[in-house]
Amino acid sequence: MPDTAPSGAQGYDWTEDTTLDLLADGMAALRVEPTGAGYLGAFLSNKLRVKSEARVQIETKLIDAYFENYHPVYPFVHEPTFRAQYHEILPRPVSASWKLLLSTVLALGSWSSGQTQTELDEQLYRRSISLGEDESIFEVANLTTIQALVLLSNLAQKRNRPNTGWNMLGLATRMALSLGLHREHPSWNVGILHQEMRRRVWWGLFLFDSGASTTFGRPILLPDQNSMDTCHILNIDDEVILHHLK
């Protein structure tokens, strides 16, 4: 008999970082609390360290470049929500995952702005990698972390670091499975935006990981069709999703 769906949109998120003082086991059969348990279980470089207004202007240009050049092909981040969180109109996720996602978006924005790699590209990439090395990344799973890892894996490949990207995809896949992104949850009372972003991230991860496996001649470790039932994504713009919420 399947478990009862959690009450909130973050109900499948989990953490085993003891510094956060949260009780969660993250295992499918060992629920401790419904909130905080796993699926089925209970920056910038020195050049950018400038005055706040100037830093925001630079970051805004890179964010604009990301959404203009990269996002139309890989819509793994909801643009209105991300921009509102960046300007703190909406609260940002409290974990280190937000910093990792922001840094990766900035790095991809810089990469997509020109035809050649620059010193700024490298600095932003290294910044993202250093944030990803934070040990709490390995002890927490949420949608923001997976978004960041999927994007960072693609950036690593674009920077001729295919095995680094491969490793990131592996971690993102395990996190996604622990959050149940490969399954639909009809009894889970969450909004269409959260459902759609879970689907976008899952299918983006599925395409990236299976594509990398095929390219490298390595086994595909993703679940088969009998083990997943996630719906396909909606063919609509980010702003249209917001209209559905009204």
* Cα–Cα distance for residue pair 59/66, rounded to 1 Å: 10
Indicate if the pLDDT at residue 234 is higher than 80.
yes
Mean pLDDT of the chain: 79
Beta bridge partners, 15, equal 140
Q: What is the pTM of this model?
A: 0.77
Q: Give pLDDT tens digits for 214-224.
A: 999 999 888 88
Give me the residue spans of the domains in the chain.
Answer: 55-242
Q: Tens digit of pLDDT for each residue in 40-54?
A: 333 444 544 555 878
Rg (CA), the chain: 18
Pair 30, 42: CB distance under 8 Å: yes
Q: What gap in Å lies between CA 184 and CA 165, rounded to an integer?
A: 27
